[in-house]
Structure 1
Amino acid sequence: MTKIGKILGLLLVTGIIASCGGPQGEKAATGEAQDVTVKSGDVTLPVDLAASNVEWVGTKPTGQHNGTVNISAGEVMLKDGEIVGGKFTIDLNSIVVLDLTDQEMNAKLLGHLKSADFFEVETYPTAVFEIASVAAVSGNPEASHNITGNLTMKNITKSVTFPAMVNVSDNGVTATTPAFIIDRTEWNVQYGSKKLFDNLKDNFIHDEMSLKINLKAEI
C-alpha cells in the first residue's frame, strides 16, 4: 500500500470511529431539580424569538441527524448588569431536520421524532428551561459563565449545568453555548437506547444528544 493510501485508510478509519462515538461536546452535569430563588431583577428583558433557537444533533453508529427547534417564549432577568434568572419555552412542534434534503425522508424522520417513540409532542408540546444560578468562570475561551437551570421535558424536571458565552450590553443580552451533551433517557426519551433494550445489536441510537443554545434578549 502506498503512503497516500495508508493515510487515506487511516482517515477513513478515524472517521468511522468518530461517527460511532456519539455526538461531540462536553457532557453537561445533570441532577435533581434545583430551587429557583430569584424571581425578579432590576430589569426583565423579553427573548428575541426570531434570533433565538436550540440546535440539536443526534447520532447512531451509521451516522447522524441535526436540526433546530424554536424558542416560543422567554425572558431574562438582570441585576447589577448580570444575569440572575430567566426562563424560556421550547416549542417541540417546531423541530426542523436540516440534513435530509429528500422531502419524504425528512418528513418520515420528523414524524418519528414527534411521535411517542421520542418527544411525544402531541402530549408534551413544549419543554421549559428555568435558570437557577449563573456563575462567572475563567480559563474557558468558549464560555464566560456556567449556567445551571431546570429542564422540564415530558413532565420530567432535572437540573442541567452547561457553559455559555454571555454578553450584557446597553442593547440587551446574548448568550451562546458551545455544543454540550445530555442523556435523553433521563427525560424518558427511550427509543433505540442500548442500555434499555438489549436486542438492538448495531441498530441503536446513542443516548447522548448534543445541544447548542443561541439566546438573544433586547431592551
Structure 2
Amino acid sequence: MKQLKSIALALVVALGTLTATAQTTKKVDVSKSNIAWVGKKVTGSHEGTIALKDGALVFKGKKLAGGNFTVDMTSINVTDMEAGKGKEKLEGHLKADDFFGSEKFATSKLVFKTIAAKGKDTYTVTADLTIKGITNPITFDMVVAKNAATTKLMIDRTKYDIKYGSKSFFEGIGDKAIYDEFELNVTLAI
C-alpha cells in the first residue's frame, strides 16, 4: 500500500511539473491589434498603419517562449495626409519596388528565435525579420501584460534592399534624404 501511495504521489508531482511547463499558443486578435509606422526624412516625417495578417505568441507557463507574425504589406496606409492631397501617391510609392515591392512581396514575417526575461513582464527578443524576401536578425524589448503585448522596433530599411533616398547610398541628395531607420509601434491583442 505504501508503495502504491509513493507511485501515486510521484505521478501527481510529475503531472504537476509537466502542466507547469506546458507550452500554450495564443493567437493574436488581428482585428484589435495595431501596427503604426513612422518614417522620417530631413524635412519632416510621415506616419501610417499596416495590418497584421496573422500571429501568435507562445508561452511556457506564464513566460513568453516564442512568437511568429505575418504582416500584410499590401495594406500600407498613410495617416498623416488626406485623400487627394498626396496620400495615394505616397502609398503607391511605398508599395512600389523602390520601397517594399508589395506586389511581389505581399507579406513580411517576424519569427522569434531567442527570448530573455529582462524584468517584470518585459522580455528581450531576438527574431528573424523577413522583408522583400531578405531575412535579418533584429533585437527588441517586448512588454507582455494581461491580454496585450507591446513593442517598438527600429528597422534599418537598407538591410532589406530599400535604398531609395538613402544618404548611405546616394551622395548629394541633401534635404531629399530619407533616414535609413523607420519605426514600428506594435500593440498586440492576445
Letter in 1 for 2:123: H
Counterparts of 1:209 and 1:42, CA distance in 2? 33
Deviation at 1:116, TM superposition (A): 0.6
Letter in 2 for 1:144: T
Q: Does 1:214 align with 2:178?
A: no
Give the C-alpha shift of residue 193 in structure 1: 0.5
Runs (4+) of structure 1 exceeding 2 A deviation are none
Alpha-carbon shift at residue 199 of structure 1 (Å): 3.2
1:10 matched residue in structure 2:
none
Question: Which residue matches 2:4?
Answer: none
- Correspondent of 1:166 among 141, 144, 147: 144
Q: CA deviation at 1:53?
A: 2.6
User: How far apart, in 1, do the equivalents of 2:36 and 2:148 lie?
Assistant: 16
1:188 pairs with 2:169: no
1:133 aligns with 2:111: no
Percentage of matched positions with identical amino acids: 38
More strand by share: 2
Q: Structure 2 CA distance, aligned partners of 1:147 and 1:203?
A: 34
Structure with max Cα Rg? 2
Letter in 1 for 2:177: F
The secondary structure found in structure 2 opposite 1:124 is coil
| Counterpart amino acid of residue 119 in structure 2 | S
Mapped to 2, the partners of 1:102 and 1:149 lie a distance apart of: 36
Match in the other structure for 2:149: 175
* Residue aligning to 1:113: 94
User: TM-score scaled to structure 1, two decimals?
Assistant: 0.73
How does the TM-score come out when normalised to structure 2?
Answer: 0.83
Pick aligned residue for 2:84 from 90, 103, 113: 103
1:45 is aligned to: 26
| Structure 2 residue runs without a partner (length 5+) | 1-21
Following the alignment from structure 1 to structure 2, what is the Cα–Cα distance between the partners of residues 111 and 104? 13
Alpha-carbon distance, 1:122 to partner: 0.6
SS in 1 for 2:90: helix
Find the counterpart in structure 2 of residue 86 from structure 1.
Answer: 67
Aligned equivalents of 1:54, 1:149: Cα separation in 2: 17
Pairs aligned (count):
169
Instruction: Give the aligned residue type for 2:166.
Output: S
* Shift, 1:198, TM fit: 1.2
1:150 and 2:128 matched: yes
**Could you tell which deviates more after superposition, 130-139 or 70-79?**
130-139
RMSD: 1.6
Q: Say if 2:101 and 2:132, in contact at 8 Å, map to a contact too.
A: yes
**Residue segments in structure 1 that go unaligned for 5+ positions in a row:** 1-40
CA drift of 1:102 comes to 4.0
